[in-house]
Amino acid sequence: MRFRDIRLDDLLRNKASFLGLVIIGILAFTAIAADFIAPYDPNKIELDEKLKPPSSEHIFGTDQLGRDQLSRVIHGTQTTFKLSLIIVTITASFGVFIGITAGYFGGFIDEILMRLIDVLLAFPSIILALVIIGSLGPGILNTVIAISLVGWLYYARVARASTLSIKEKEYIEGARAMGCSEMYICTHYILPNCLPPIIVLVTLNMGGVILTIASLGFLGLGAQPPTPEWGTMLNEGREFLRDCPWLSVVPGALIMISVLAFNFIGDGLRDILDPRQQVIK
């Protein structure tokens, strides 16, 4: 099997991934520049203006406290992206560390870590998250803890599987014969070579994490009002669904679009990394 790097132009060639990249690009820009592009303060209450339909002044209308909906979704994007990035970074690095350790050293360590993962995977992850938040109390920090606690499992499994196959390659044996330490082999040889499937998993996982954050927010267990967050906003808008649908539709649509965009990119990456894609028509 030949090895191919992920190349940006390959990704752009795929229409769905291209679309995904564009959407994520816009959302990421929105998140970073939220303070500058939001027309109003997201938490400024103006009860005279409450529940206004979309207009030139308030593009997405206002909510029950008269806060500008557009500013709130812009800041909500920031909240969601910040949280999911933190969670994915924690889970991916911890999972990859555990996976490589288990896969490379094998034997007893592997046995213990893998059984632990099997046990944790036996719990439905959202219920586990609910239990954790239930005992720690709702809030952003606890959301991060609850999702991260089970989120690393898949990374560990994928990293372990790639490590097992990379470990058998001649270049690892050559590195050992050269006198490289185990640590050096893990960081310089195993890690870079098991990254491609991890990168795919990260993009696909981003969508999942966004969805979980929103679900917890919707249930009132995630970000707490008045912090603007898509799931929380969805929950707040629920009461006014009949009269003011914009309050629910906008954050709902954003959740869907961002999850979809990440999945598009993930699928595109997976296709590129598939060695069977060597010869194209």
Partner 1 sequence: MTLLSIRNLKSYFVTRDGVVKAVNQVSLDIFENETLGLVGESGCGKTVLALSILRLLSENTVVEGKISFKGNDLLRLNEEGMRDIRGKEIAQIFQNPLSSLNPVLTIGLQVSEPFMLHRGMKLSDAWQSAISMLRAAKIPSPAERGKEYPHQFSGGMRQRAMISMGLACNPALILADEPTKGLDVTIQSQIIELMRELVKDRKASMLLITHDLAVAAELCDRIAVMYSGEIVEVSEIKDFLSNPGHPYCRGLLRSLPLNGMEPIPGNSPSLIDVPEGCRFHPRCKYAMERCRNEHPEMYEVGNGRKTRCFLYA
Partner 2 sequence: MLEVRDIKKTFSKGLVHKKYLRAVDGISFTIGEKETFGLVGESGCGKTTVGRLILRLMEPDSGDVVFNGTNITGLKKQDLRKIRPKMQILFQDADSSLHPRMRIWESVAEPLKLYDLVPESDIRKKVLELLEMVGLQKEHLNRYPHELSGGQNQRVVLARVLALRPQFIVADEPTSALDVSVQAQILSLMNEMQQKYGFSCLFISHDLGVIRKMTSIMGVMYLGKLVETGRTEDVFENPKHPYTQALIASGRVAGLDNEQKASPIEGEMPDPMNPPSGCKFHTRCPQKMDLCEKIAPELNNVGTGKVACHLF
| Interface residues toward partner 2, by CB under 8 A | 2-5, 169-171, 173-181, 188-189, 192-193
| CA–CA distance, 228 with 108 (Å, rounded to integer) | 47
Question: Smallest gap, in angstroms, from Cβ of residue 176 to partner 2?
Answer: 6
CA angle, 128 then 131 then 134, to 5°: 150
- Which residue number, 56 or 278, has a Cβ lying nearer to partner 2? 278
Which of partner 2, partner 1, none is residue 3 near (CB under 5 to 8 Å by kind)? partner 2
**Spatial CA neighbour of 239 closest among 252, 248, 231:** 248
Displacement of CA 11 from its chain's centroid (Å): 19
Question: Smallest gap, in angstroms, from Cβ of residue 191 to partner 2?
Answer: 10
- Which residue number, 70 or 158, has a Cβ lying nearer to partner 2? 158
Interface map 250-279 toward partner 1 (x if CB under 8 A): ----------------------------xx
- Which residue number, 4 or 167, has a Cβ lying nearer to partner 1? 4
Question: Smallest gap, in angstroms, from Cβ of residue 198 to partner 2?
Answer: 14
- Which residue number, 116 or 180, has a Cβ lying nearer to partner 2? 180
Which of partner 1, partner 2, none is residue 224 near (CB under 5 to 8 Å by kind)? none
Which of partner 1, partner 2, none is residue 280 near (CB under 5 to 8 Å by kind)? partner 1
Question: Smallest gap, in angstroms, from Cβ of residue 22 to partner 1?
Answer: 24
Q: What's the DSSP call for residue 11?
A: H
Helix axis angle for 69-105 and 140-167, nearest 10°, is: 40
Helix axis angle for 140-167 and 191-218, nearest 10°, is: 150
Annotate 137-151 with DSSP letters as a single string: -SSHHHHHHHHHHHH
Question: Smallest gap, in angstroms, from Cβ of residue 175 to partner 1?
Answer: 27
- Which residue number, 115 or 169, has a Cβ lying nearer to partner 2? 169
| CA–CA distance, 147 with 162 (Å, rounded to integer) | 24
Question: Smallest gap, in angstroms, from Cβ of residue 274 to partner 1?
Answer: 15
Which of partner 2, partner 1, none is residue 177 near (CB under 5 to 8 Å by kind)? partner 2
Task: Identify the three-state secondary structure at position 62.
Answer: strand
Cite the DSSP H helix spans in 38-139: 69-105, 107-121, 125-136
**Spatial CA neighbour of 175 closest among 187, 158, 161, 162:** 187
Task: Identify the three-state secondary structure at position 68.
Answer: strand
Which of partner 2, partner 1, none is residue 180 near (CB under 5 to 8 Å by kind)? partner 2
Cβ-contact 262, 204 below 8 angstroms: yes
Q: Which positions touch partner 1 (CB under 8 A)?
A: 278-281
